[in-house]
Structure 1
């Protein structure tokens, strides 16, 4: 039996092009329970979430689904969204995107099709979720990025994407309600987001 710590494993070198990294990612045999992303010129393999994260992800999806923009779907799971301009490829915990983005045989999806992403932090992903992804999602024009800080038990919604990331953010502790801006224009109840 192999025991792995909850920290990301990286692969890649400065000389690898983004396309080389994507090809390597295509061929990578990721172990069950792990996901692979491209962050800052490296392939990062990190463990999937703790069990109760699924409850939180489903609660987010159920609350946002009635407010989705027309022609968009929301879900959880291992989809890889590519951001070529930033040479990144992320597998967000929760994602809402144009239905047409899924009309492909590729597992690489267009990051610009996203209308919403949410990341649930873990000790291995927290830094990238709070820095790199805020900038990349914002520059790509993703209207809403929800960061659920599972260690600090608070939710931050980022909105108003710009060339430097997001211009607006609002943070609430778990247990409070958080306004989710356009194109959703709804309120997210975070009452049941805490650990069991």
Structure 2
């Protein structure tokens, strides 16, 4: 996991770095949040199983939507950041014809499933909620495998989410409008260490 804590990186420089590294690796997994470059850990098999469950739950409830896995989003003020959430819920076909980093306007919900790495706390619990709120993404869903909890952030005010509701795995979670989906999280208990 590479994180630059001292160097502020401009968006154009990040985009060039990403293009170069993408030629070397199939998917570099790089993100730019608050001017810092982060390397996102690759998902483990259980992470993938959780995303599979979530995709099925979303499509079953709202078939006109799709949970796009690891879609690059232009985030933060003036869209100067680059994030790759584990999932971006948007209308089916919303990103057709766009490039690697898409306009986040159609995104109803960003999703992160915590990884077992040292950057999870800062990235998924602090930096990402702020970045998604600044972007105006209505809902941020954090599936936290460390604490065995689900947190639903909503009501972005352009700086932060004004509402955050946390429930333990096993409880029913209502994703507020514009998402309007109810999740039964009992199965998540089976997919943690």
Q: What is the TM-score with the length of structure 2 in the denominator? A: 0.85
SS of residue matched to 1:193: helix
**Partners of 2:73 and 2:82 within 8 A in 1:** yes
Task: Please state if 1:80 is matched with 2:68.
Answer: no
How far residue 32 of structure 1 moved from its aligned partner, in angstroms, is: 5.8
Is there any run of 5+ residues in structure 2 with no aligned partner, and where? none
Q: Which residue of 1 aligns with 2:56?
A: 62
Q: Which residue of 1 aligns with 2:31?
A: 37
Cα offsets for 1:128-167 (capped at 9, x unmatched): 1111111111121111110111111100001111122111
The whole-number CA distance in structure 1 between the counterparts of 2:66 and 2:35 is 30
Task: Tell me the C-alpha RMSD between the 2 structures.
Answer: 2.3
Say how many residue pairs are matched.
186
**Partners of 1:25 and 1:43 within 8 A in 2:** no
**Partners of 1:82 and 1:89 within 8 A in 2:** yes
The whole-number CA distance in structure 2 between the counterparts of 1:23 and 1:31 is 14
Q: 1:126 aligns with which of 102, 118, 121?
A: 121
**Partners of 1:38 and 1:88 within 8 A in 2:** yes
Is there any run of 5+ residues in structure 1 with no aligned partner, and where? 1-7
Q: Which residue of 2 aligns with 1:173?
A: 168
- Higher strand proportion (structure 1 or 2): 1
Q: Which residue of 2 aligns with 1:3?
A: none
